[in-house]
Amino acid sequence: MSNSVVTMDKIVNLCKRRGFVFQSSEIYGGLISCYDYGPLGVELKRNVKEAWWRDTVSSRADIVGLDCSILMHPKVWEASGHLTNFSDPMVDCKLCKGRFRADQLEQARCPKKPSKRPGECEGELTEARAFNLMFKTHMGPVEDTAAAVYLRPETAQGIFVNFSNVVNTSRNKPPFGIAQIGKSFRNEITPGNFLFRTREFEQMELEYFVKPGEDDAWYEYWQQRRLQWYLDYGIDPAKLTLRAHDEDELAHYAKGCCDVEYEFPIGWQELEGIANRTDFDLKQHIEHSGKDLSFFDEQDKERYVPYVIEPSAGADRATLAFLVDAYDEDGPENDRRTVLRLHPSLAPIKVAVFPLMRKGGLPEKAQELIALLGSRVAVDYDQSGSIGRRYRRQDEAGTPLGVTVDYQTLEDETVTLRDRDTMEQERVAISELLDVVVEKTAPPPPYPKLSPGG
C-alpha cells in the first residue's frame, strides 16, 4: 500500500467524476460556495449523520432528538445575541473592491489576476468593521422591517427555546441532552475550500444540560467522547487533535471551549467545537421571553437553571474529513488504483454484485443476490466492462465488498467475496452471504462510558 499525497483538487475531482458532489446550478455557471450532493454523496452524508445520531441519540436513554423550523421568531436572535454579536471583522480593498475576513487575511486571495494576498497588492485596506453573518428575509407578502426574519445561523437556539417543552413531555431531568441535525445559514465573508466553508450547511448539535457544578466533568467527558467518535469511524489519529481555546478566543459567555481539529489538505482546521456555555442561553431566553426555563428537581427540592455543554459539529465538514482521510492511491505506477478506504458503515454502497459474464444465467443469479442483500444493506449492480474495471469503479466509490457470480456459483451456490482494502478474495456460501456482509459493514460499538463516572 502506498499512501499518496491528498490534495483538495484530487478530492474535488473525484467528487465530481463519481457523483459525490456537484457545483450547485452548474448549467447556469454555478452558484459560489453552494454544492449539491450526488447519488454517492447523499448516501455518504446520510451515513455520517446516521452515525452521529446513533452515537448521540439512539444508543442513549438520556438524550432525545428534535427537528425545529429554520425560521424562528426574530426575538430569538435578539435574546441569543446573534443580532448584535454574530459578526466577523471585515475589511475592503479600496482598489479591487474585494471583501475579506480581517482575521483570515493569510489565507485570502484577491479577486484580481494575478491573485495576491490582500494588503500585498497596491490596494489599501479599510479599517476592519463588523459584518453580521445572518441571512435576512421577509415573512409574508409585505416586505417591511416588521416582517423581517432570519435563516437560523445555528440549530442550537431551537433547542433552547424548546427546553421546557421537552422536559415536560419526555420527563428527562439533568443530566440529559437534546440533539438536532439540520441546515444552518451564514453569509460568510469568504467561503471556500469546497465543502469546508459554505454559506448553507448542516450542523449536528447536542445541548447537554447539567446541574451547575457538574459541568466541568461533563465538558471533559464530551470532549473525549466526540474525539473518539471520529477515531472509531476510521479517522487517522495522527491527523486529529483537541485544541483548547485561549482565553482571548473564548466567547464572553463560555467557561471553556475546545475544538476537534483535523489536518485537512489546507492545514489544521476546526471540525467541531465543544463548549461549556454555562447557563447563558437559557438565562437570556428567560429574560427576553419572560418564561421560566429553570428546572425544579423534585427529589432534592431544588430549582436551578442548568448549565449546557455543547458539542457542535458540521455534517458537511465531517463528510469532507472522512473523504480526505479515506482517499488513497496504491499499486504500481502502471496499474494505479484510486481507493476510498471509508469505514464500511459510512460507505455509500456496502456491496456490489457482478455477474462474471452477461450470459449463461449469471445476470439472473446476480439479481437474486441483489434482492437478498438489498433487504439489509445498500447494494449496487454492475455488469459492464471487465471484472477488473468493475472492481476499480467500486474501489473509487469506497464500496467495501464485491460479490462475483461465476459458473461455479450455479453448481455449488457459492460466490467470490472481494475485500476493497486487501483485494483478497474468498469463497462464501450464498446461505451465509447476508450475515457475512452485514457483519463486515456494521458500525463500531458506541462509546463505552455513558457518563464521566463510567
* Residue 201 within binding range of ligand ATP, rule CB under 6 A: yes
Q: Which amino acid is at 323?
A: L
Distance in Å, CB of 199 to ligand ATP, minimum: 7
* Residue 198 within binding range of ligand ATP, rule CB under 6 A: yes
* Residue 272 within binding range of ligand ATP, rule CB under 6 A: yes
Residues within window 135-194 making contact with ligand ATP, judged by CB under 6 A: 154, 186, 188
Question: Which of the ranges 269-277, 355-363, 403-411, 413-421 carries the binding residues for ligand ATP, by CB under 6 A?
Answer: 269-277
* Residue 273 within binding range of ligand ATP, rule CB under 6 A: yes
Cell of 329: 492511491
State how far the Cα of 259 lies from the Cα of 87, in Å rounded to an integer: 20
Question: Which of the ranges 166-174, 197-205, 226-234, 389-397 carries the binding residues for ligand ATP, by CB under 6 A?
Answer: 197-205
* Residue 256 within binding range of ligand ATP, rule CB under 6 A: no
* Residue 261 within binding range of ligand ATP, rule CB under 6 A: no
Distance in Å, CB of 132 to ligand ATP, minimum: 13
* Residue 355 within binding range of ligand ATP, rule CB under 6 A: no
Dihedral of the CA atoms 275, 277, 278, 283 (nearest 10)? Answer: -170
Distance in Å, CB of 324 to ligand ATP, minimum: 14
Question: Which of the ranges 50-58, 277-285, 310-318, 360-368 carries the binding residues for ligand ATP, by CB under 6 A?
Answer: 310-318
State how far the Cα of 60 lies from the Cα of 219, in Å rounded to an integer: 17
Q: Are 52 and 313 in contact (CB under 8 A)?
A: yes
Distance in Å, CB of 156 to ligand ATP, minimum: 9
SS3 letters across 250-304: CCCCCCEEEEEEEEECCEEEEEEEEEEEECHHHHHHHHHHCCCCCEEECCCCEEE
Residue 382: closest CA among 110, 369, 116, 44: 369
Residue among 233 and 354 whose Cβ is closer to ligand ATP = 233
Residue among 8 and 372 whose Cβ is closer to ligand ATP = 8
Q: Sign (positive/negative) of CA torsion 307, 309, 315, 320?
A: positive
* Residue 203 within binding range of ligand ATP, rule CB under 6 A: yes
Determine the residue with CB nearest ligand ATP. 314
State how far the Cα of 427 lies from the Cα of 415, in Å rounded to an integer: 6
* Residue 307 within binding range of ligand ATP, rule CB under 6 A: no
Q: Which amino acid is at 109?
A: R
111 upstream amide cis, omega within 30 of 0: no
306 upstream amide cis, omega within 30 of 0: no
Q: Sign (positive/negative) of CA torsion 207, 208, 211, 216?
A: negative
Q: Are 354 and 417 in contact (CB under 8 A)?
A: no
* Residue 316 within binding range of ligand ATP, rule CB under 6 A: yes
Burial of 169 (0-12, 13-18, 19+ CB in 10 A): exposed
How many residues bind ligand ATP (CB under 6 A)? The answer is 16
Residue among 263 and 270 whose Cβ is closer to ligand ATP = 270
Residue among 190 and 441 whose Cβ is closer to ligand ATP = 190
Q: Which amino acid is at 388?
A: G
Task: Return the SS3 of 215.
Answer: helix
21 forms beta bridges with 37
User: What's the DSSP call for residue 392?
Assistant: H
Residue among 264 and 295 whose Cβ is closer to ligand ATP = 264
* Residue 319 within binding range of ligand ATP, rule CB under 6 A: no
Distance in Å, CB of 275 to ligand ATP, minimum: 8
Q: How many residues does the chain have?
A: 454
Task: Report the 10 Å Cβ neighbour count for 11.
Answer: 21
Distance in Å, CB of 247 to ligand ATP, minimum: 16
Residue among 45 and 197 whose Cβ is closer to ligand ATP = 197
Distance in Å, CB of 195 to ligand ATP, minimum: 7
Q: Can you give the binding site for ligand ATP, defined by CB under 6 A? A: 154, 186, 188, 197-198, 201, 203, 270-273, 312-314, 316-317
